[in-house]
Each structure stands twice: as C-alpha cells, then as structure tokens.
Amino acid sequence: MVRDPRRAAGHAPHLSEIAALAGVAALGVVAGGTAVAFAIARKAVSPQQRRIADVQVHAVSRTAQTITLGRTPDTVLPGRYGLFVNGSRGYLKLGSVVAEDDRTVTRKLLTHIASGERIARAASFSGWYYDEPAQLHVPFRDVTVRAPVGECPAWFFPPEGDGPRDTWVIAVHGRGTVRAEVLRAVPVFRALGLPTLTVSYRNDGEAPRSSSGRYGLGATEWRDVDAAIAYARTRGARRVVIMGWSMGGAIALQTALNSAQSDMIAGLILDSPVVDWRLVLGFQARALHVPSPVTHVAIRQLTMPGWSRVVRSGESISLNDLDVVRRADELRQPILVMHSDDDGFVPSDASHGLAEARPDLVTLSAWKEARHTKLWNYDEARWAETMRSWLIEQDIVTP
C-alpha cells in the first residue's frame, strides 16, 4: 500500500538529523568515541521515522494570507516552497517573501487556512512544493515496478503530444524522502515529449523494506532503479535518462556504473547529488563539531564487514565504490550536474571534482545561493532551461 507522502519520512539527507550529534558527541566523553561513532554510522544508514522540524511558525495572518517563520538560510530564499505543519499532517504551499527582519521571514500563503484551524509552532520547510501528483493537473497513473526487493510503487506521466515515446525519464528521489520530491521535474520533461516514471526504492517508506531495513547509500538501491529501466524497456523504451536528487544522484550514478542495461542510459541529470559520501559525512560531522577521529571511526564502521553487520544488519558499504570522482574514468554517459555552492547539506566539492575529472562527459551548472535541492524553487526558469538545453545538446530531444 502506498503511504501518504505527507506522512513519509522527511526530506534532506540531513545527516544533521543524525540524532543531535552534538549531544551524542558530548556523551562520548563518558561512553567513548567508539560509541559515538556507532551512533553516527547507524543514523547515516537509518531511514527516518518522522520528519524533522527545522523551523518555527511565529504567526499566521488569515486576513493577509501570510505566514511568519523563523529566519533560516532556507526560509529567506526567493521562490515557491512547501511547509509541513502539525506533525506533517498538514502541508502548506508558500509564495514569495513579503517582509523580513533579523529574526523572522514573512511569506505569502498559497494554501488557504480555514478559520479556526490551528497551526503548531514546529514545522518543516520543504522544496517539494507539489506533494501529490494530481496537483500537476496532468494525466498520470499508478504503476508497479517489480524489483529484487519486491513491488515498488511508481507514478507514470505520459508526455504531451503524439510523437515518439521511446526515450523515458526515470526520476529518483533523495534520502529520507519519497517520490513526491521529484514531481517538480515532470512538467519540464512532459513538454519535451518524454514519458516520466517517478520511482520508489527499498526502505524509503513506500517501497518494500530490505532484509537489513537500512540504506545502502546507493550501493543497494540502484538495483531497484535497474528494475525500473527493465520496466520501461518492456513498455517500448529504447533509451532512458535517469534524474536523481541528492542521494538519488548517488543511486543514478551507481546504476550507470553497475547496470547490465547501461547501454540504454542516454544520460544522467543530477540535482544536488552525493558524488562522494566521505565528503558528505565529514561535512555534516564538522558542522556538528564532531571530532575528526570520531568521524573516521564512524566511516570505518560502515566499511568494515564486522562492524557493518552491527551498524546496518547487512553487508559493508564500499565508500571507494561510491566515490564517483575516484571512478570517473568508468563513466560512459553524458552527465548534467546542477549544484549550489552554498548547498548546506551536500557540499558541491565532489560535483566540481567530477566535472574536472571528466570534462568530456560532465556539464556542471554551478549555482551560488539556491541551497540543497531547492534549485527549482529558487529559479524555476533557469533550472528548466538548463535541463532543456542540455537534453537538446546531447541529441536526446529535438528543439
């Protein structure tokens, strides 16, 4: 049964969600660095059970149709966003900033709040904007991809027009979120005549749980995307473009590197991707003031077979295999990478490194202040045109 996306685990590969690591690190003084490292490693591969509140609601004006939020690097961004409220039971669409000071930001409300409806103080700011496929007002249908882990729900969106439909897009969401995250891309691909399959994968809260119940950070999830390629092929696709957000980018890259069907992959589009997990884990740990030796032990616990069985209840993860800059010479497909240098969760260093390692294949669209997976929200026109132009340049679509 497909879960309501609004009840699914929250967005962001925030390893800032790694269980108040600052507090855990303090415990390490007593319990020892190994225990702290275990908590870090365990949290990195654990699917989220609930959405993390990351912003406070200060006021709601039903008369002016505005909402005032605590000021954060995300809440001040221009563009359209979403806000999960009341323990993620409600979802509000937010418009432009209408006022701000050094503590708060007031934004236009694009969702009507009924008289008497209470909005709790704790909320979660989101780049999704659309949280259900019907909100796109285009045809779609629920389908099922038979993957090694079981039947994975997906949404299929046919393209506009009656032209050839032999090139599909497979859209892959990020860590701690669900396929509603990728709905923003559907209108772009649909207008270009590309059918779009938005997929789920093991342990994301919609697809079946794996035997370990833990993330493989792309090392295992790619098999479910590989099954989506087979699904598309049996329905007339001759080529696919895989688009991945955040950890979905890591999954897309692993699919291109490992799939026996890689000859079908015409290209990859990556939004704020994880290209090297060591950089991400190190970045998040430093942000939470976790000592470097503890971070090193945590990474080792993910990669050593003995420890990994405790951390993940599964096989160890080869972070060397997941380091695509290290494996850049194995890449065969053209890749578009869109990444903001102020990402805040997944540093853009590895995206730059990948572009430098394979300038023949990798096109990097570097942004400056769009934050993590919010490039569409920040500048929808630029985001859409970047993808459209690249798809034309690669002869994947015609003008």
Question: What are the chain's domains?
Answer: 133-276+321-393 (3.40.50.1820)
3 state SS of 34: helix
pLDDT at 16: 47
Q: How much is the pLDDT for 33?
A: 60
pLDDT confidence bin for 46, thresholds 50/70/90? confident
Contact 109, 98 (CB under 8 A): no
The reported pLDDT for the residue numbered 12 is: 47
Give the pLDDT confidence of 332-344 residue by residue, as tens digits. Answer: 999 999 999 999 9
Tokens of 394: 């690669």
Using alpha carbons, select from 215, 218, 227 the residue that is nearest to residue 253. Answer: 218
- pTM for this prediction: 0.90
| Mean pLDDT of the 191-210 span | 97
Q: How many CB atoms lie within 10 A of CB 357?
A: 18
Q: What average pLDDT does this structure show over 144-172?
A: 94
C-alpha dist (Å) from residue 22 to 27, 36, 56, 399: 9, 10, 21, 51
Beta strands in the chain (DSSP E): 55-61, 66-70, 81-85, 90-100, 104-109, 122-126, 141-147, 150-157, 167-172, 196-199, 239-245, 265-271, 335-340, 362-367
**DSSP strand pairing (362-367 vs 55-61):** unpaired
Please identify which residue in the block is written with the tokens 């990948």.
Answer: 354
pLDDT at residue 92 above 90?
yes
Q: Are 341 and 349 in contact (CB under 8 A)?
A: no
Lowest average pLDDT, out of 19-28, 94-103, 318-327, 353-362, goes to 19-28
Task: Find the radius of gyration of the CA atoms of the chain.
Answer: 20
The strand pair at 90-100 and 104-109 is best described as: antiparallel
Q: Which of 10-19, 55-64, 112-121 has the highest mean pLDDT?
A: 55-64
Residue 105: other Cβ atoms inside 10 A: 22
More confident residue, 185 or 116: 185
| Region 143-150 average pLDDT | 98
Which pLDDT does position 294 carry in this prediction? 85
Q: What are phi and psi of 176, to 5 degrees?
A: 70, 20
* Cβ proximity of 192 and 144 under 8 Å: no
- The alpha-helical segments, DSSP class H, found in the chain are 21-31, 33-44, 186-191, 222-233, 247-258, 277-287, 292-303, 305-312, 319-322, 349-357, 375-378, 380-393
